[in-house]
Protein backbone atom coordinates (compact mmCIF):
# COMPACT_ATOMS: atom_id res chain seq x y z
CA UNK A 1 0.00 0.00 0.00
CA UNK A 2 1.45 3.33 -1.05
CA UNK A 3 1.11 6.25 1.34
CA UNK A 4 0.82 9.58 -0.40
CA UNK A 5 2.60 12.66 0.83
CA UNK A 6 -0.72 14.46 1.22
CA UNK A 7 -2.07 11.74 3.51
CA UNK A 8 1.10 11.82 5.59
CA UNK A 9 0.93 15.60 5.88
CA UNK A 10 -2.78 15.44 6.67
CA UNK A 11 -2.13 13.09 9.59
CA UNK A 12 1.35 14.17 10.66
CA UNK A 13 0.86 17.90 11.07
CA UNK A 14 -2.28 17.68 13.26
CA UNK A 15 -0.63 14.95 15.32
CA UNK A 16 2.41 17.16 15.87
CA UNK A 17 0.24 20.12 16.94
CA UNK A 18 -1.88 17.91 19.17
CA UNK A 19 1.16 16.49 20.96
CA UNK A 20 2.67 19.95 21.31
CA UNK A 21 -0.60 21.26 22.77
CA UNK A 22 -0.75 18.35 25.20
CA UNK A 23 2.78 19.09 26.35
CA UNK A 24 1.82 22.70 26.94
CA UNK A 25 -1.23 21.68 28.94
CA UNK A 26 0.80 19.11 30.88
CA UNK A 27 3.17 21.81 32.07
CA UNK A 28 1.66 22.66 35.45
CA UNK A 29 4.61 24.50 36.89
CA UNK A 30 3.45 27.99 37.75
CA UNK A 31 5.52 30.77 36.32
CA UNK A 32 7.27 33.05 38.80
CA UNK A 33 5.00 35.89 37.65
CA UNK A 34 1.85 33.93 38.50
CA UNK A 35 3.00 33.16 42.02
CA UNK A 36 3.48 35.68 44.76
CA UNK A 37 6.94 36.60 43.55
CA UNK A 38 8.19 38.52 46.50
CA UNK A 39 5.30 41.01 46.59
CA UNK A 40 4.04 39.66 49.90
CA UNK A 41 6.04 39.00 53.00
CA UNK A 42 6.07 35.57 54.50
CA UNK A 43 3.66 35.09 57.40
CA UNK A 44 6.14 33.10 59.46
CA UNK A 45 9.54 31.43 59.58
CA UNK A 46 9.99 29.01 56.66
CA UNK A 47 12.82 27.14 58.42
CA UNK A 48 10.58 26.30 61.37
CA UNK A 49 7.83 25.53 58.86
CA UNK A 50 10.08 23.00 57.13
CA UNK A 51 10.62 21.15 60.39
CA UNK A 52 6.91 21.24 61.18
CA UNK A 53 6.07 20.10 57.66
CA UNK A 54 8.35 17.06 57.87
CA UNK A 55 6.85 16.14 61.26
CA UNK A 56 3.17 16.74 60.48
CA UNK A 57 2.46 17.02 56.77
CA UNK A 58 4.99 14.96 54.79
CA UNK A 59 3.05 11.72 55.31
CA UNK A 60 0.21 12.98 53.10
CA UNK A 61 1.83 15.71 50.98
CA UNK A 62 5.24 14.07 50.41
CA UNK A 63 8.65 14.94 51.80
CA UNK A 64 9.33 17.27 48.84
CA UNK A 65 5.75 18.59 48.68
CA UNK A 66 5.22 16.37 45.61
CA UNK A 67 1.89 15.02 46.83
CA UNK A 68 0.70 11.55 47.68
CA UNK A 69 -2.42 11.01 49.72
CA UNK A 70 -2.89 14.77 49.69
CA UNK A 71 -2.34 17.09 46.70
CA UNK A 72 1.03 18.34 45.55
CA UNK A 73 2.05 21.59 47.23
CA UNK A 74 5.01 22.40 44.97
CA UNK A 75 3.95 23.35 42.43
CA UNK A 76 0.73 24.07 44.26
CA UNK A 77 -2.41 23.10 42.39
CA UNK A 78 -4.49 25.88 40.87
CA UNK A 79 -7.93 25.48 42.41
CA UNK A 80 -11.21 26.64 40.89
CA UNK A 81 -12.59 29.66 42.68
CA UNK A 82 -9.25 30.48 44.34
CA UNK A 83 -7.50 33.48 42.80
CA UNK A 84 -4.12 32.74 44.39
CA UNK A 85 -3.58 29.43 46.19
CA UNK A 86 -0.34 30.88 47.63
CA UNK A 87 -2.15 33.72 49.38
CA UNK A 88 -0.99 33.53 53.02
CA UNK A 89 -4.53 34.08 54.37
CA UNK A 90 -5.89 31.27 52.17
CA UNK A 91 -3.14 28.82 53.18
CA UNK A 92 -3.48 29.67 56.87
CA UNK A 93 -7.24 29.16 56.61
CA UNK A 94 -6.91 25.76 54.92
CA UNK A 95 -4.26 24.55 57.37
CA UNK A 96 -6.23 25.80 60.38
CA UNK A 97 -9.71 24.65 59.32
CA UNK A 98 -8.91 21.68 57.08
CA UNK A 99 -10.45 21.01 53.69
CA UNK A 100 -12.64 18.45 51.98
CA UNK A 101 -12.19 18.07 48.24
CA UNK A 102 -13.07 15.27 45.82
CA UNK A 103 -13.83 12.87 48.64
CA UNK A 104 -10.51 13.52 50.38
CA UNK A 105 -10.41 15.25 53.73
CA UNK A 106 -7.58 17.14 55.35
CA UNK A 107 -8.36 17.45 59.05
CA UNK A 108 -7.92 20.80 60.79
CA UNK A 109 -4.23 21.45 61.48
CA UNK A 110 -3.42 18.23 59.64
CA UNK A 111 -4.82 16.22 62.51
CA UNK A 112 -2.44 17.73 65.09
CA UNK A 113 -4.47 19.95 67.46
CA UNK A 114 -1.23 20.91 69.26
CA UNK A 115 -0.13 23.19 66.38
CA UNK A 116 -0.23 26.82 67.45
CA UNK A 117 -1.29 29.74 65.29
CA UNK A 118 2.38 30.60 64.80
CA UNK A 119 3.12 27.01 63.73
CA UNK A 120 0.40 27.31 61.07
CA UNK A 121 1.94 30.60 59.86
CA UNK A 122 5.37 28.94 59.71
CA UNK A 123 3.93 26.07 57.64
CA UNK A 124 2.29 28.55 55.25
CA UNK A 125 5.59 30.44 54.95
CA UNK A 126 7.44 27.22 54.10
CA UNK A 127 4.92 26.28 51.38
CA UNK A 128 5.05 29.78 49.86
CA UNK A 129 8.85 29.85 49.92
CA UNK A 130 9.12 26.44 48.26
CA UNK A 131 6.82 27.56 45.45
CA UNK A 132 8.97 30.63 44.85
CA UNK A 133 11.97 28.42 44.13
CA UNK A 134 12.74 28.59 40.38
CA UNK A 135 11.56 25.50 38.56
CA UNK A 136 9.16 24.43 41.28
CA UNK A 137 9.50 21.06 42.87
CA UNK A 138 10.53 17.77 41.40
CA UNK A 139 8.08 16.11 39.04
CA UNK A 140 6.13 13.17 40.34
CA UNK A 141 6.99 9.83 38.69
CA UNK A 142 3.64 9.80 36.88
CA UNK A 143 4.08 13.33 35.51
CA UNK A 144 7.64 12.56 34.46
CA UNK A 145 6.45 9.43 32.63
CA UNK A 146 3.68 11.36 30.84
CA UNK A 147 6.08 14.05 29.66
CA UNK A 148 8.68 11.48 28.57
CA UNK A 149 6.10 9.55 26.55
CA UNK A 150 4.89 12.77 24.97
CA UNK A 151 8.30 13.96 23.80
CA UNK A 152 9.38 10.50 22.63
CA UNK A 153 6.15 10.32 20.59
CA UNK A 154 6.84 13.73 19.05
CA UNK A 155 10.37 12.57 18.17
CA UNK A 156 9.14 9.35 16.57
CA UNK A 157 6.53 11.18 14.49
CA UNK A 158 9.16 13.69 13.33
CA UNK A 159 11.62 10.89 12.42
CA UNK A 160 8.97 8.97 10.46
CA UNK A 161 8.01 12.11 8.57
CA UNK A 162 11.63 12.98 7.72
CA UNK A 163 12.33 9.37 6.71
CA UNK A 164 9.32 9.42 4.39
CA UNK A 165 10.42 12.69 2.77
CA UNK A 166 13.99 11.45 2.28
CA UNK A 167 12.89 8.09 0.88
CA UNK A 168 10.45 9.67 -1.58
CA UNK A 169 13.18 12.04 -2.77
CA UNK A 170 15.60 9.11 -3.10
CA UNK A 171 13.07 7.05 -5.10
CA UNK A 172 12.50 9.94 -7.51
CA UNK A 173 16.27 10.33 -7.93
CA UNK A 174 16.67 6.60 -8.65
CA UNK A 175 13.82 6.71 -11.19
CA UNK A 176 15.35 9.74 -12.99
CA UNK A 177 18.75 8.07 -13.09
CA UNK A 178 17.30 4.83 -14.50
CA UNK A 179 15.38 6.81 -17.14
CA UNK A 180 18.56 8.64 -18.12
CA UNK A 181 20.44 5.34 -18.55
CA UNK A 182 17.72 3.94 -20.86
CA UNK A 183 18.16 6.81 -23.29
- Give pLDDT tens digits for 103-144: 788 899 988 999 999 999 999 999 999 888 755 556 667 778
CATH number, domain of 97, equals 1.10.760.10
CA 53 – CA 69 distance, rounded (Å): 15
Predicted pLDDT at 117: 93
State mean pLDDT over 35-54: 78
Predicted pLDDT at 52: 93
Computed over every residue of the chain, the mean pLDDT equals 81
Domain match, 103 and 167 both: no
Domain match, 123 and 157 both: no
Domain extent for 12: 5-26+142-182
Domain match, 53 and 106 both: yes
Q: CA 127, 132, 84: angle at the middle one, nearest 5?
A: 70
Predicted pLDDT at 25: 65
Residue 51's pLDDT band, with cuts at 50, 70 and 90, is very high
Cα separation values, 105 from 71, 92, 96, 140, Å: 11, 16, 13, 21
Cα separation values, 165 from 5, 11, 52, 59, 153, Å: 8, 14, 59, 53, 18
Amino acid sequence: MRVTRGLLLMLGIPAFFLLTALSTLADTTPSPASTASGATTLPGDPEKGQTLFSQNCATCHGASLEGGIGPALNPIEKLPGVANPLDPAYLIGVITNGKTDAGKTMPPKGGNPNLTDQDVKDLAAFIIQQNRTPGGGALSPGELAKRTILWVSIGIIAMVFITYLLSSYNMRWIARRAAARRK
